[in-house]
Structure 1
Amino acid sequence: MLVRSGGLAVLCAAGLATPAAQAGPIYPAPDPDGFYAAPADLAGHAPGEVLRSRPVGTHPWPGATVWQLLFRSTDSHGGPIAAVTTLITPGPGARPLVSYQPFVNSLGTRCAPSHSLFDGGMQESGALGLMLARGWAVAVPDHLGPTSAYGASRLGGQITLDGIRAVEGFAPAGLQGAPVGLIGYSGGAMSTGFAAALAPEYAPELPIVGVAQGGLPVNPGKVALQIGDRPHPLFGLGFAVAMGLQREYPEEMPLDRALTPAGFALRDQLANVCTDQIITAGAGHSVGEFFTAGMQSDPVLIATMHANALETFPGVPRAPIYQWHGGNDQVPLDQALATAGRYCAAGTPVLFDVIPGADHAGAIVPGAMKAAGYLADRFAGLPAPANC
């Protein structure tokens, strides 16, 4: 299921043709809960500044305290946005903080973690209890942003970092200066990886001591090109990534000039839905049904893809990394190894673990168990191992 998170990402590379009647991105319906609304003076606040907060009284973690924080972040063009993180802490007082980025493969705002944590929609929620049992506080950001821009991984990294800033600056939680670990798998690893790579310049003050990322698609566009125009059971996710990127890059991703009538219909159908509906709608379809033939070499489109691919993003994490990947993962292992090797060559300790025989879904649990131990050692101040 988790190739969903980014592995098909840019089936949208089908190019630009004759303009269609309908133009511009299709955005999701705004969240009806006023808590999510950005204040009028948003631009006057600093990245990571808490704009609004509320306690969550009913939740599935006995004995824990839960808050939701609306904070100021920055979009891919440098503009101010409001984003949300959910903070769960097992008790008062100082403790390590883990920022957990789930694999959110959706286009509707109701699919965001701040909702799915409480309505049963988040498949990974069990992992949070294990981290709380270690005494760690856990922050879960809505890392796709206010327009659910699925595929805009750099945006996800910025939101993740600003969410950590918000938590550490939120006095009632008592987490000022807490050591920070990052963790995410698949699509969550894309935001995690970008947060780690962006941190030295975007948020150098954050005390990030370790990163754990698994099943990481470091260049989703390459995966899409390898799939080509064959029918695919997860085609809907690739189409959804094209929609999400157009939301974040409306000038660089003019899908209205590339969609067929069937493509417009599918775009309307998917505008506000979550993962399962996206997969069902696109299952067994292919690029040629929904996109006109075109210009995969368009330089603006390529630049947009590179800006959201860790393989081509020049930033290098400084925090040590544990990275795991299935030996039979549908997300290319060689690309992940090459990017990790570049980080190693730049001086970042990377411990890369290949799970023998595991596919994308099968690698989650064995790697996640090791990831928790890896972060525990970083919180304890132990030297970071590496196998560069």
Structure 2
Amino acid sequence: MTCRGSVVGRIGRFLGVTTGVLLGLFGAVPAGAQPIYPVPDPDPFYAAPPDLAAHAAGDVLAVRAMPPVPAFPGTSVTLVKFRSTNSHGDPIAATTTVLTPFTHVADAPLLSYQHIINGLGTQCAVSHVLYTGDPDKAVREAPALNALLLRGWSIALPDHLGPQFAYGAARLGGQITLDGIRAVRRVPELTLGRSPVTMAGYSGGGMATAWAAALQPTYAPELEIAGAALGGVPMNLETMVRALWTNPHPAFGLAMAAAIGLEREYPERLPISDYLNGRGVAARDAMANGCVNEILGIGAGHSVLDYAASTSLVDDPEAWKVVEDNSLQLFDGVPTMPIFEWHSPTDPLIPVDAIVDTDRRYCAAGVRLHSQLTPSPEHLSAAVLGMPAMVSWLDARFRGEPAPSDC
């Protein structure tokens, strides 16, 4: 029996009723419901080396020249493995894919672009998705990124969910992003050692970008980053969780995937699996190695009440602390680099008030912040509508122009 079952047993003895009665009231906990991790990547390149702990954050662990990617003609592709840090300060091996245009000159601009990765399986990593040929897993921003490659920029695409694919662990994504920038600048053949650097991303990729910007002053103070563009960022996971708590939603699968991912990163503090009923465990197992389409299909129209044997975890302060620790609105650090932020004013997927509040806090702290509302009424089209302004803003940062501010 799980620890929770033991607690229920003690309560039962105190009240003079059987454990079975109480478990019937609170919901039976499936036996052996432990966190479920992704199937390890079959490519040994992704594995952590035995001497990982001897390396510093951002150290290059391995470099591999990759085949051309049809979606990005006129570029060479390099996969870089590097040492990063998980949410507990422990070393991990992470990867980033660098697209280098054939027109590249030494120390030309470098953009770290954090792609949306709505997945729990290793095959959902950008470094794999580039080669799938599956239109449902394509890099949808390829047209915009190709325009930047034509300008001579190099583009790094980090696998920012980490080796456990801890979807939802946003702070982790920020650290991997920063260490990826450190690493690619240290690969001699990429000739990016003195390149000016910017970052960008939307939605989950925007979350990794935003955390990287906020963490840079303390996590990577030696990095000089000219600016970060972030769009559609889920700034407050706690607000999102509470909004989806009992309400069936077509995108509930993403919320459940975030819970699974956070449990992977914080198994002791957020033991989601202990609180699932049989249907919940089945859904979790079906999602465990899935990418966005599988995750959305499994969770569509469901809510926590469909999958929870008990909702008592909602009263656990340690569980909420995990969610808070990955909510940028609640993080007291602020960027020192200029920020461009865009979003839909009526986004139904993310709490817009959390974005507005974070923007105000950054302005009050002296951040050079330019915020833009898109005419889109929803989440995904706002990404596309904000791209031209994002590119223009990034280009101005590389030219050294003073960053605009709405503050």
Relative to the length of structure 2, the TM-score reads 0.89
Is 1:107 aligned with 2:120?
Answer: yes
Determine helix, strand or coil for the equivalent of 2:118. Answer: coil
Corresponding residue for residue 33 of structure 2: 23
- For 1:188, give the aligned amino acid: G
Corresponding residue for residue 182 of structure 2: 165
Corresponding residue for residue 40 of structure 1: 50
Corresponding residue for residue 266 of structure 1: 283
- For 1:162, give the aligned amino acid: D
Q: Distance in 2 between matches of 1:115 and 1:125?
A: 15
Aligned residue runs from structure 1 range 317-336, under 5 A:
317-330=335-348, 331-336=350-355
Corresponding residue for residue 89 of structure 1: 100
Please say if residues 51 and 70 of structure 1, whose CA atoms lie closer than 8 Å, have aligned partners that are also in contact: yes
Aligned residue runs from structure 1 range 134-213, under 5 A:
134-213=151-230
Q: Distance in 1 between matches of 2:345 and 2:248?
A: 24
C-alpha displacement of 1:62: 2.7
Q: Distance in 2 between matches of 1:143 and 1:178?
A: 21
Q: Deviations over 1:29-69 (max 9, x none)?
A: 01101110110000001111110111113222332121000
* Structure with more helix by fraction: 2
Q: Which of 79, 82, 90 does residue 79 from structure 1 map onto?
A: 90
Aligned residue runs from structure 1 range 271-310, under 5 A:
271-291=288-308, 292-310=310-328
Corresponding residue for residue 4 of structure 2: none
Please say if residues 150 and 244 of structure 1, whose CA atoms lie closer than 8 Å, have aligned partners that are also in contact: yes
Corresponding residue for residue 260 of structure 2: 243
Corresponding residue for residue 385 of structure 2: 366
Corresponding residue for residue 133 of structure 1: 150
> Compared with structure 1, are the counterparts of its residues 51 and 245 closer, same or farther at alpha carbon in structure 2 (3 Å cutoff)?
same
Determine helix, strand or coil for the equivalent of 1:119. Answer: coil
Q: Which moved more, 1:156-165 or 1:330-339?
A: 330-339
Q: Distance in 1 between matches of 2:43 and 2:58?
A: 21
C-alpha displacement of 1:366: 2.0
> Compared with structure 1, are the counterparts of its residues 228 and 246 closer, same or farther at alpha carbon in structure 2 (3 Å cutoff)?
closer
Corresponding residue for residue 98 of structure 1: 111
- For 1:348, give the aligned amino acid: V
Determine helix, strand or coil for the equivalent of 2:340. Answer: strand
Q: Which has the higher contact order (CA 8 A, sep 6+)?
A: 1
Unaligned runs of 5+ in 2: 1-25
Is 1:68 aligned with 2:79?
Answer: yes
C-alpha displacement of 1:286: 1.4
Relative to the length of structure 1, the TM-score reads 0.93
Please say if residues 18 and 257 of structure 1, whose CA atoms lie closer than 8 Å, have aligned partners that are also in contact: no
C-alpha displacement of 1:214: 0.5
- For 1:378, give the aligned amino acid: R
Q: Percent identity?
A: 49
C-alpha displacement of 1:314: 1.1
C-alpha displacement of 1:356: 3.0
C-alpha displacement of 1:316: 0.5
> Compared with structure 1, are the counterparts of its residues 240 and 67 closer, same or farther at alpha carbon in structure 2 (3 Å cutoff)?
same
C-alpha displacement of 1:357: 4.5
Q: Distance in 2 between matches of 1:86 and 1:209?
A: 21
C-alpha displacement of 1:19: 4.7
Q: Distance in 1 between matches of 2:69 and 2:126?
A: 13
Determine helix, strand or coil for the equivalent of 2:380. Answer: coil
Determine helix, strand or coil for the equivalent of 2:130. Answer: helix
- Kindly report the root-mean-square deviation, in angstroms, between the aligned alpha carbons of the 2 structures: 1.4
Unaligned runs of 5+ in 1: 1-15
Corresponding residue for residue 243 of structure 2: 226
Q: Deviations over 1:263-322 (max 9, x none)?
A: 111111111111100100111111111012224231101111111000001110111001
Q: Distance in 1 between matches of 2:122 and 2:64?
A: 19
Determine helix, strand or coil for the equivalent of 1:241. Answer: helix
C-alpha displacement of 1:94: 1.6
Corresponding residue for residue 118 of structure 1: 131
Q: Which of 45, 61, 86 does residue 51 from structure 1 map onto?
A: 61
Determine helix, strand or coil for the equivalent of 1:145. Answer: coil
- For 1:42, give the aligned amino acid: L
Please say if residues 83 and 92 of structure 2, whose CA atoms lie closer than 8 Å, have aligned partners that are also in contact: yes
C-alpha displacement of 1:220: 2.0
- For 1:105, give the aligned amino acid: N
C-alpha displacement of 1:115: 0.6
Please say if residues 218 and 309 of structure 1, whose CA atoms lie closer than 8 Å, have aligned partners that are also in contact: yes
Q: Distance in 2 between matches of 1:220 and 1:127?
A: 29
Q: Distance in 2 between matches of 1:134 and 1:366?
A: 21
> Compared with structure 1, are the counterparts of its residues 18 and 303 closer, same or farther at alpha carbon in structure 2 (3 Å cutoff)?
farther
C-alpha displacement of 1:124: 2.7
Please say if residues 17 and 257 of structure 1, whose CA atoms lie closer than 8 Å, have aligned partners that are also in contact: no
